[in-house]
A and B are shown apart, each in its own frame.
Chain A
Amino acid sequence: MIFQGKQKIWSDYQKEIPDDHWFYVRSCIRQGFFPGSEVAFLDICRNKLGKDFFETEHHTTCGGIAYHAEALPQETMMTIIARQFALMGEHGYKNYVCSCITSFGLYTEVLEDWRTFPDLEDKIREHLWKSCRRELTKPEYLAHASDIIYKFRNEIAAKAKHRLVNKFTGEPLRVVEHIGCHYSKMFPSKGVGGAEYPYVLAGMIDSWGGEVIDYPERRHCCGFGFRQYLVKANRGYSMSNTHKKFESMEPYKPDMIITNCPGCPYFMDRWQYVIAEQTGKTYGENGYGIPVFTYEEVAGLVLGYDPWDLGLQMHQVAVEPLLDKMGVKYNKKDKYKGSGGKILKIPEFPMNIKCC
C-alpha cells in the first residue's frame, strides 16, 4: 500500500467546514443506543472547544430510517427535512450539523434534488407552508458531526490525556475505520476524503496516534439495510454482511473499530455477539470481541472522559481490554451503576464471547 497515493486523493476531497455557530440535530438511533456519544459531542464542542452549538427541542427525526424502509413517501421525508431547515432559519443559523449519517445523506440528496428540480422544491415549500406555516431556509453549510470532530482533531490531540497507543508495547493501536455508506457513497465530493478512501475518521486516527487498518472489505456496508434489519425475518442479511467484514479484517488483528454512523457501531457490536453465540467464533484476543466505538467515544477517551460517562457499558462487546491498552483508568464496580451511584442489577453475560 502506498500511503502517498491516498494522501493525493484526500487532498482532492477537502470540504469547507465553518468554524463556529452550528444548528445541531440529533439522531434517533444514536440517542437510543449511544446517548453518551451525543452528550460527549456537545460537551467537547461547547465546553472544550468553546463553540456555539444550538439545539431546539422542536426538532424531530428527519424520517430517514422510515423513508428508507418505504414507510414514508419521498415528499413526506422532504417536507420533514424542510421543517428542520426552517427551524434552523428561524433561530438565525446558517450552518446545519447532524448527528446521523442517514440524515446527512438525505439532507445532501434533498438539496441536490431541489437544485436539479426546482419545481420539486416549490412543491415542498408549499407542503411546508400548508402543514406547518413555516418558511424554508436552506442551510449555507451542511456537515456531519464527524466532520466537526475531524476539523478539530488536532486541537483534541493537543489536549489529549491518552493516545491511541498500546501502552504495553508502545506501538500504535491498530484501528479499523468504518464509514457509514450514506456519508459519501452517493455524493463523494460532500465527504472529507471522498467515497473510496474517506479521510474523516482516518484523519482522527492519524492525529490521535493510531494506525489505520485497510482491509479488503473496508468499503462494504455493515449490513443495516433498513428493512433488512428492522424486519426480524430479514436479519440474516444484516448479520451476514457484518460477518463478511469481520472475516476480512480478522487477519489484521485490529485493536478497535471506529465508526461515524448511527447503526454501524450497534450492528458491528451486536452481530459479533450473535455470531459468537451461534457459531462460537470471536474476533478479538482471548475470547473477547473487537470493541466498536463511535468517534465521539474515542475522542472522549482521548480527552480523558470516564468510560462509563461515555456510555461504554451499553456496548455488548467488552471495551476493557482496549481501555487497558490505552491506559485509561476505570472503576470496574461503577460500570453498571445508575445515576448518583445507584446500584443496579448487573447484566447477564453471554456464553461464547467474553465480557466484563
Chain B
Amino acid sequence: MGKLYEQLIRDYRIKEGLKACINCGTCTAICPAAEFYKYNPKNIVNIVQSQDDAQIEELLKGEQIWYCGECMSCVTRCPRRNAPGLVVMALRSLSIDLGYFVESEKGRQMLPLTRRMQSNILNYGYCVYPRTFLYKDHPEYGLTGKWVIENMEDVYERLGANLDGKGPGILRKIPDESLAELKAIFDETGATRRMEIIEEASKLKAKEMGIPYDEYERKAFEDTEKDHLNH
C-alpha cells in the first residue's frame, strides 16, 4: 500500500465511497463530465483501488480529477454502492493539501475559486452574493441580469428583499457576531489553512511560469490552453 493511498483512505469520503469497483462503466455512461471531457470516473476509481502510488500521484497532479461536476448521478446507479463523485472529492482535497493542484491547468483554478468563495462567506455569509457577482465575469447573466445589477437596490426592494438590512430576510446583512463565528470555524477546521496553502503554492507556480500573480489568477479563471475535450 502506497503512502498516498494511505493518506487518501483517511478521508471519510473514501471510506464512504470506495468499496470494490468491478469496472462495469455504469457511472461513466451517465456522467455529464464523461461526455464532454477526457474523463472517465470508472478509470479513476480503478486507479485508486489499485493502491498504486505512482498512478495516484499522476491523478493528483493531472487534469482529470477536476472535470467532475459533483452532481453525484453516479452514486444512484453503482451496483457496488461506490460513490465515484466522493472519491474524486477526496482526491481533490489531497491534491490541494499536497500542493499538487498547481501542476494542472484545471487545478490552478483553485486560486480564483477559493478566493471568491471564501471571501464571499467571510465578508457576507453567503457563497454567492449579488454585489460580487459581476457582469464582466458572468455575461450569461444576460441582459436582464445586467439590468438587475444596474438597478440592484430598486429591484430587490421591489421584490421584498432585505438587501444589506437588519433582521431576517433575503440578502440581509448577517450580523457581525455571526460572521465572526464563521471566521472562527474557518480557523478551527482548516478553511483558513486551505486558503494559505493555495496562495503559497499558486505564488510559487506563478513565479515558475514567469507571470505576474494577478495575471496568473486571471488566466486561471478565464483561459483554456490545453485540450480537455473528449473528441
Contacts and interface: CB of A to CB of B under 8 A. Distances in A.
Q: A and B touching (C-beta < 8 Å)?
A: yes
Interface string A218-239: 0111011111101111111111
Interface residues of B, number: 92
Interface in B190-231: 190-191, 194, 220-224
| Chain B contact residues, majority secondary structure | helix
B124 to A, nearest CB: 9
A233 B224 contact: yes
A221 B185 contact: no
B118 interface: yes
Contacts of B32: 220-221, 223, 225, 237, 241
B70 interface: yes
Interface string B91-118: 0110010000000001001101110111
Interface in B163-187: 166-172, 174-175, 177-179, 181-182, 184-187
Contacts of B52: none
Given A58-B175, A186-B72, A338-B151, A270 B185 contact: no
A120 to B, nearest CB: 6
Interface stretch (B1-9, B12-20, B42-50, B54-62): B12-20
A29 interface: yes
A21 B114 CA distance: 36
A192 to B, nearest CB: 16
A336 B73 CA distance: 39
10 contacts: A32-B130, A64-B127, A70-B89, A70-B93, A75-B189, A75-B190, A83-B185, A221-B73, A273-B142, A347-B147
Interface of A: 26, 28-29, 31-32, 35-36, 38-39, 55-61, 63-66, 68-76, 78-80, 83, 105, 113, 116-117, 120, 127-128, 130-132, 181-182, 185-186, 188, 195-196, 219-221, 223-228, 230-241, 244, 270-271, 273-274, 308-309, 311, 313-316, 336-339, 342, 344-350, 355
Which 7 pairs of residues, A with B, have the shortest CB-CB distance? A225-B69, A338-B154, A347-B147, A71-B117, A131-B184, A66-B117, A65-B127
